[in-house]
Amino acid sequence: MAVLAAVLWTANPASGAGAFDYTACDGGQISTTIWNDGHGDIFSLNKPAGIDRCEAAGAAGRTWSNNSTYWWGWYFDTNSDNAQTVFQWKSWGTGDQQQQNYPVLMKVEGGRLKVWYVAPGETWQSVGTTAWTAGSWHKLELGITTRSDNTGSFEVWMDGTKVVGKTGVRTWDDMGNNPRWGTYGTGINGVNSHVWIDDLKLGQSRADVDQGRPCFRSGLRGSPCAVMITAWGEGTLLRISGPHWSQCCRSRCGAGRGWGGGG
Ligand SMILES: [Ca+2]
């Protein structure tokens, strides 16, 4: 019997900004909306022209520590292909209190998702990039193993495909770090940047946060592998659903996790 995912925290859009530790969106708006697209309630983070950022940070009731592994999964959409910084593993403190302002950082820029490792000394290293389509949901998964020496690591997946696997890096700053999601950039101060987040959750492995909407329907959530067995059993379903189904479910249930465990 396979072990079901251990989700440690979820950001419920019904809680609004209260799902997070704090927000940085003065002049903008963090709210809950619904598009009737199957996602139910979703977070809306709207940065109007005239301010640099609209971000939500941390997880209500949770702290983060060195020598730990965290995985976050979330659906993300942007109104433009230039939302700039959309995720920061942001260090606490300012100036000299920090050695790394944001060890792991993700941007949507020029129609691409771009991932950086930012080493001490503000040394930016591009570690992965992939095409980004504004106006569509993308499933993002980020895992960070925190180390204040150079033995940390992180991974980024988008829509079931690994974009980044980086090892031998420093992922925990002197005063600690905190996740931030949203849209930020001085270069986009003059324009509206609007982003949306759904199904944001925290776990200890990728499997914990790799459960979401495209692969299965409501009522079958608890056991995605069982759904895949059903899909294989009914070939038409798989054909109708197309390669996204099979790719998504293979990444979720294949690769050594076995088909026979019933989830
Ligand atoms: Ca939702």
Residue 73's domain is classified under what CATH number? 2.60.120.200
From first to last of its 263 residues, what are the pLDDT tens digits of the chain?
Answer: 555 569 999 999 988 889 999 999 989 999 999 999 999 999 999 999 999 999 999 999 999 999 999 999 999 999 999 999 999 999 999 999 999 999 999 999 999 999 999 999 999 999 999 999 999 999 999 999 999 999 999 999 999 999 999 999 999 999 999 999 999 999 999 999 999 999 999 999 999 999 754 444 333 433 444 444 433 332 223 333 334 444 444 444 433 333 333 33
Rounded to an integer, what is the distance from CA 79 to the centroid of its chain? Answer: 17
Within a domain: 11: yes
Q: How far is the CA of 22 from the centre of ligand 1 (A)?
A: 20
Tell me the CA–centroid distance for residue 251 and ligand 1, in Å. 22
Residue 93 to residues 106, 143, 151, 197: CA-CA distances in angstroms?
20, 23, 23, 26
Domain ranges, residue 45: 7-209
Distance 206 CA to ligand 1 centre (A): 19
Strand-pair category, 22-24 with 161-169? unpaired
- The upper half-sphere exposure of residue 9, i.e. CA atoms within 13 Å in the direction of its Cβ, equals 18
Looking at the fold, whether 24 and 71 belong to one and the same domain comes out as yes
The verdict on 160 and 244 lying in the same domain is: no
Q: Which two tokens stand for residue 215?
A: 């692969």
Q: Say whether both 81 and 182 belong to one domain.
A: yes
In a domain, 1, yes or no: no
User: Do 57 and 73 lie in a common domain?
Assistant: yes
- Report CA(10)–ligand 1 centroid distance (Å): 11
- Contacts with 24 (C-beta within 8 Å, 6 or more apart), sequence order: 53, 54, 55, 57, 180, 182
Q: Which residue bears the tokens 């987040």?
A: 197
Q: Are residues 36 and 132 in the same domain?
A: yes
Residues 6+ apart with CB under 8 A from 242: none
User: Is residue 204 domain-shared with residue 227, that is, in the same domain?
Assistant: no
Q: CB within 5 A of ion ligand 1: which residues? A: 39-41, 198
- The structural domain count of the chain equals 2
Q: What is the dihedral of CA 6, 8, 13, 19, to 10 degrees?
A: 180
> Which of 190, 209, 228 is at the close of a domain?
209
Chain centroid offset of residue 217 CA? 21
102 lies in the same domain as 224: no
Report the interhelical angle of 243-253 vs 224-233 (nearest 10°).
140
> Is residue 123 located within the same domain as residue 226?
no
Tell me the CA–centroid distance for residue 41 and ligand 1, in Å: 4
> Quick check: is 61 in a domain?
yes
Q: What are 160's two structure tokens? A: 């079931």
Q: Tell me, yes or no, whether 112 and 178 share the same domain.
A: yes
**Across-strand partners of 44?**
31, 196
Whether 189 and 239 share a structural domain: no
